Structure 1
Amino acid sequence: MLFRSNSKAQQRTEIDADNIPQHIAIIMDGNGRWAKKRALPRVAGHREGMKAIEKVVRRASDLGVKALTLYAFSTENWKRPKTEVEFIMKLPSQFLDTYLPGLIENNVTITTIGDFDSLPEFTKEAVIKAIDRTKDNDGLVLNLALNYGSRKEIIDAVKSISELVKDEKLDIHDINEELFDQHLYTHNLEDPDLLIRTSGEQRLSNYLLWQLAYAEFYFTDKYWPEFGEEALDEAIIEYQHRKRRFGGL
């Protein structure tokens, strides 16, 4: 089965439905630069970025992607100007107020990873409500990385495993990759097949460092507010041209 892409930029415009990345991770970068390019305040870029999320989620769901993990706010983003941080913290509520009915209709399940307890109460309330409203859905998992940092995640996993060893509930020789996976925030998800980063930057920025070990990386110069259905199609078509070897031949 083939999906027809609307993209005019690719010579091959058909997506192979039998080779869809099951888990896509996205670093949604460039909201501020998109706004600056248009002489708008940075917050206008974040607002426009919400529309891009809705488009990408809908298209990913239609294509049969099982999980979409979006880097919504990193542990380092607290260093940004206070007014911008306050605005970003309101975005989950605004996004969900606008798009939650459509997400429910499309059978999307909402989850989150990161240091959730340190978020403002109004942010947590909106996300908890969305998680509860979508908990019985069994379609695409929209996993929001909020106040997330991969190094902290790995340290938290080490602490958790260390406690088990200290309490003699785990033998140190039984620690392996599979066990470590189970102590990560993403323990309910398969590792991403594809990482997408927008805005032309080519780095991981403390994002899913363990989980992305064998993912395919796709970088685009498009700013996140410019990234929509066609751009996602292009990324998936590029992914389908790759030969994944997982360290083998």
Structure 2
Amino acid sequence: MFGKKEGSSTSNAKLDPNRIPDHIAIIMDGNGRWAQERHLPRVAGHKQGMQTVKNVTIAASELGVKVLSLYAFSTENWKRPSSEVSYLMQLPIKFFSTFVPDLVKHNVRVMVMGDITKLPQGTQKAVNDAIADTADCNEMILNFALNYGSRDEIIRATQQIAKKVAAKEISVDQIDEQLLSQNMMTADLDKLADPDLLIRTSGEERISNFMLWQIAYSELEFTDVYWPDFDRHSLEDAIVKFQGRHRRYGGLKNN
């Protein structure tokens, strides 16, 4: 009945462990539809989606991914019903309370981009505690986008640069790609800031205001699999497809 959306590998090609993308970003979509197709409340999909985050994080870490960026809550998600928003605000608390030991075990460091000051105090504490508890981990970065929107990010970066120009700290001529990148919320990721591969689950084919600056040359993969059904095989399948592409960055194939 739900076979079309179940997680499964569709590629016969073999994954090359030596060509794993350094940075994978995922738009986690389809929790609500996953639940509705099973005649469950939407929050049931979010609950199952939280377990998927755990499974995919461990899988990515074991595969050798260096940064995994997950679109957890956008600046537009506040428009959802208040009951659903309240539930979503509790998820980081539940997630980190049970998963931080596993993150430390797998040497995964938590980072967050977005304006977390607008989140409830309990959610902020859970996020900040997870960041502190994993600060010494250095195998992979689990980068959550919480209360994040790319247009908001670009506006904030522009404002920061404009203030520096106004204060005569820099000139207009010094504004370039590097400077703008240094003022983005991914600045702490340094050379790993730009995703090599962006995955969106659930069959939707749009970016939804996620990392617009950083994905300029990312490979995009859209899968019909709902996020709660996305698993290690789904991740590996997306990576295999990524490995089958030739990234030219605007140049010629033989460059």
TM-score, normalising length: structure 1: 0.96
The Cα shift of 1:246 comes to: 0.4
* Equivalent residues of 2:109, 2:134 under 8 A apart: yes
**Cα deviation code 1:35-79 (max 9, x no counterpart):** 000000000000000111111101100111000000000000000
Residue identity over aligned pairs, in percent, reads 52
Partner of 1:29: 29
- Report whether the alignment pairs 1:66 with 2:66: yes
Aligned counterpart, 2:247: 244
For 1:217, the equivalent position in structure 2 comes to: 220
Show the counterpart of 2:3: none
CA distance in 2: counterparts of 1:9 and 1:245, whole angstroms: 26
The answer to whether 1:166 aligns with 2:166 is yes
Residue in structure 2 matched with residue 89 of structure 1 by the alignment = 89
Inter-partner Cα distance in structure 1 for 2:107 and 2:12: 33
Q: Judge conservation of contact 2:9–2:237 (CA < 8 Å) in 1.
A: no
* 1:11 aligns to 2:12 (yes or no): yes
2-side partners of 1:196 and 1:7: how far apart? 15
Give the alignment's Cα RMSD to 1 decimal. 1.1
State the 1:15 CA deviation.
Answer: 1.5
> Which structure has the higher relative contact order (CA within 8 Å, separation 6+)?
2
1:198 is aligned to 2:216: no
Kindly provide the amino acid, as one letter, of the partner of residue 227 in structure 2. W
Summarize deviations over 1:191-225 as a string: whole Å, max 9, x none. 00000000000000000000000000000000000
SS state of the match for residue 202, structure 1?
A: coil
How far apart in 2 are the matches of 1:188 and 1:245? 26
1:41: which partner in 2?
41
Between the aligned partners of 1:148 and 1:175, the Cα distance in structure 2 is: 24
Following the alignment from structure 1 to structure 2, what is the Cα–Cα distance between the partners of residues 56 and 126? 21
1:229 aligns with 2:232: yes
Matched position secondary structure for 2:18: helix
Write the mapping of 1:175-190 to structure 2, written as runs, cut at 5 A.
Answer: 175-189=175-189, 190=192
- Unaligned segments of structure 2, at least 5 residues: 1-6
Q: Figure out how many residues of one structure are paired with residues of the other and give that number.
A: 243
Distance 1:8 1:125, change over 3 A: closer
Q: Deviations over 1:78-120 (max 9, x none)?
A: 0000000000000001111121111110000000000111111
Matches within 5 A, 1:111-190: 111-189=111-189, 190=192
Q: Which runs of 5 or more residues in structure 1 are unaligned?
A: 1-5
State the partner residue of 2:77: 77
**Aligned letter for 1:90?**
Q
